[in-house]
Structures are given as C-alpha cells and as structure tokens.
Amino acid sequence: MNDFKVVAFDCDGVMFDSGQANMDYYNSILQHFGKPEMTQEQFAYAHMHTADQVVANLFNDPELIDIVQSFRKEMSYKPFFKSMIIEPDLINLLKKIRPKYKTSIATNRTDTMRGILFEFGIEDYFDLVVCALDVKHSKPHPEPLLKIVEYFDVKPQQVIYIGDSVVDETAAKAAGIPLVSYRNGSLSADYHISRLKELGDILLV
C-alpha cells in the first residue's frame, strides 16, 4: 500500500504533446531575428528548460538576448495553442483521482502555463500550479517539487511526480519524491507507464 497524498504532473510531454507548438513558437522568434530554424539539439533542450534558458541557448549573443527576451515577452503564445494536443487520458484520470488526491503541476514553463489551462478548460482540476516564475531555481533543481511538499504539508514520499525527462528525474531524486517515468524507458524511476490511465493502478483508484 502506498501513502501518496499528492499527484504532481510535468506539463510538456506528459499533460500535452506540445512539441509542434513549441517548435513553431521558437521558430517564429528566430525568423523575426533572421535566424535559421531550430536544430533537433536545440529543440530537445527547449523541451526541458525555461523560456529564458531556451532564448539564451538559441541566441548566443549577450547583446542581443535582452532584445529577444523583450520581444518574446510581448509575443502571445495563444496562437500556438492550436498545435498542442492534450493527452487523451488526462481529464478522465483527473476526475478519477480527485478528490482523494490533491493535484498539482511542476513545470519549467513560465508565463504560458495558466493560459494553457484556461484554453483547455482544466484549470479547476489542479490545487496548485508551480511554474518557473514561482521559484528562484527551476528544474532540475528540486525547488519546484519541494514547494509542492511545503504547500500541502506532506512528506516528500507522499508526493508522486509524473515526468518524462532527465530534468524531471534529477529534480525528483533531489527532492526525495517518487518518479513515474512517462514514455521514457531510459529514466531511473520508481514506475514506468506509457499511458496516463496506468497511473490509476499505481494510485489504487
């Protein structure tokens, strides 16, 4: 029997297939500044890191980065919502596990997460959302996950985190939180699943 009380989700690659949306978003920024489209290596980096980190990675020019950041922050992510695909099991899973479990999000997204939740009508399914803007240190630092532990006043082992990247693995390990690896067999995790509905078996719901 587990003693889980809180279920925490990563966003990109877990709650949503957002690969195309993110690629289109960053490519539009690159295009605006006359730069070539993202490489596969840059895209892989963008999947796991904050927008500020991604811009710094894409524009290796200290004099240009502040200009790009200002442009990005004035640019709406909303046109790219249409390219995001919500994981088909997510809403049914959230309905199934609540209110027995508290639910939360720990993501390296910055100013786009809440807009995404409203766009897909799932903002009321989460008791806490922790974005990169809410912490001093984003993942792979454990701070986002430890913020969840503190907020719900639980032990780290009473939180279970669903992630899909080495950044999630590192953060969960540092926080002492059990990790569910989603569609990534290369991660060292307590559980591995390929569909979100499989989480129901782990949570005994």
Tell me the per-residue pLDDT of 114-168, one tens digit each, with 9 for 90 and over: 999 999 999 999 999 999 999 999 999 999 999 999 999 999 999 999 999 999 9
> Residues, the chain, total?
205
Let me know whether 128 and 169 are in one domain. Answer: yes
- Pairing of the two strands 85-86 and 16-17: antiparallel
Which of 60, 82, 104 marks a domain boundary? Answer: 82
Co-location of 154 and 193 in the same domain: yes
Say yes or no: 48 and 99 in one domain: no
The verdict on 132 and 153 lying in the same domain is yes
For residue 45, being part of any structural domain is answered with: yes
177 and 130 in a common domain? yes
By residue range, what is the domain housing residue 130? 6-17+85-203
Residues 35 and 52 in one domain: yes
* Final residue belonging to a domain, choices 42, 59, 82: 82
Banded model confidence at residue 182, pLDDT cuts 50, 70, 90: very high
In a domain, 171, yes or no: yes
Q: How many degrees, rounded to 5, is the angle at CA 197 between CA 45 and CA 178? A: 60
Half-sphere exposure of 190 (CA within 13 A, CB side): 18
**Mean pLDDT score, 30-48:** 95
- Is the domain of 116 the same as that of 147? yes
Q: What is the pTM of this model?
A: 0.93
Q: Name every residue whose Cβ is closer than 8 Å to that of residue 205 and which is 6 or more positions away in sequence.
A: 96, 97, 100, 101
Residue 1, pLDDT > 70, answer no
Reported as a pLDDT band with limits 50, 70 and 90, residue 112 is very high
**DSSP tally for the chain: helices H, then strands E:** 9, 8
Residue 1 lies in a domain: no
Q: Would you list the DSSP string of 80-135?
A: GGGG-EE-TTHHHHHHHHTTTSEEEEE-S--SSHHHHHHHTT-GGG-SEEE-GGGS
Domain tally, the chain = 2
Q: pLDDT band for position 2 (50/70/90)?
A: confident
* Structural domain includes residue 111: yes
CATH label of the domain that carries residue 107 = 3.40.50.1000
On whether both 67 and 92 belong to a single domain, the answer is no
pLDDT digits (tens, 9 = 90+) for 7-34: 999 999 999 999 999 999 999 999 999 9
User: Do 80 and 24 contact (CB within 8 A), yes or no?
Assistant: yes
Q: Using the predicted structure, report yes or no on whether residue 71 has a pLDDT greater than 80.
A: yes
Say if residue 166 is in the same domain as residue 122.
yes
Of 82, 116, 133, at which residue does a domain stop? 82
Residues 65 and 159 in one domain: no
- In a domain? residue 166: yes
Per-residue pLDDT tens over the stretch 84-111 = 999 999 999 999 999 999 999 999 998 8
| Whether 117 and 172 share a structural domain | yes
Tell whether 91 and 152 lie within a shared domain.
Answer: yes
